[in-house]
Each structure stands twice: as C-alpha cells, then as structure tokens.
Amino acid sequence: MLSVNVCSLMSKHHDLANFINSLIVHRSNILLVAIQESWEIPYDDLVSITGFNIVYKNRTLSKGGGVAFYINSKISYRILNHLSHFYERNFECLTVELNIGKKRLLQVTSTNLPTLLLAQTQNIMTYLLVI
C-alpha cells in the first residue's frame, strides 16, 4: 500500500502515474494507493492510471480536501459507505473492503483540518474506535 497527500490530483496525476509505473517496473506489487487532499476530480478519465480503478469523494461546498483510492484492477473491492463519513472541512473519509484471496481487508483514507476543535477531535476518535 502507498499513501500520498497530493494537494490536487489533477495537477499531479502525471507525476503520480509515472511514480506508480516505475514501482511496477521494478517489480513492486502495488495493490492500493490511498490519496489525501485529492481536491476536485471532475471525471474519472482525467486521472486514470492503467491497471487501476479509482474511487473518490470530492467536496461539493468548498475547494480542496477530498480522498481517493487507486485499487489494482485485479482486486475485487466494494466501497463501504456506512464507514465513509464525509464532513467537509472537518473529517473526510473513504473506506473500502478489498477481497484478496480468502482475506477481506478494510482500508481507510482520511483527511481532517489540523485546527479542529477539541470536541470534534473527540468525535473523530470515537468514530475511529468503531471502525
């Protein structure tokens, strides 16, 4: 698994795709890439990477934020909406379940504002304990 805070996937897509492809060329088995701060993704095709499916959550009320996963196209997966809480500019989360052989793995990518109030931070910690 690879995790990257890209601060705009649209502007860094080409560099990220090249990096992932260079890892694959060097025989790294990349199953999943977690993305934080993906910002707006208007269309899947604009950020596609050969051999991967993309799933994401964009903000709708403001700029920035957002989370995404590139999932190896050989892996079966499903988005777990009930564990993908998305509170714009507070806590943005995307959760997927991967089926690898007989194993099921949960993967979570999230982002939050560093200036969260204490009460909001406690709510997030409570949420994470449920996962």
For 14-28, the pLDDT digits (tens) are 999 999 999 999 988
Alpha-helical segments (H) within the chain: 9-25, 118-130
Write down the pLDDT at residue 117. 55
The per-residue pLDDT for range 114-125, each reduced to its tens digit, is: 665 555 666 666
Please name which of 73, 100, 101, 91 lies closest in space to residue 131, comparing C-alpha atoms: 91
The whole-angstrom separation of Cα 46 and Cα 48 is 6
How many domains are there within the chain?
Answer: 1
Write down the pLDDT at residue 20. 95
Write down the pLDDT at residue 73. 97
Sign, CA dihedral 114-89-108-42, equals negative
pLDDT band for position 89 (cuts 50, 70, 90): confident
Which pTM does this prediction carry? 0.86
Range of the domain at 40: 2-130
Q: What is the CATH number of the domain that holds 33?
A: 3.60.10.10
Pick the residue with more confidence: 92 or 129? 92
Residue 119 burial class via C-beta count within 10 angstroms: exposed 0-12, middle 13-18, buried 19 and up:
exposed
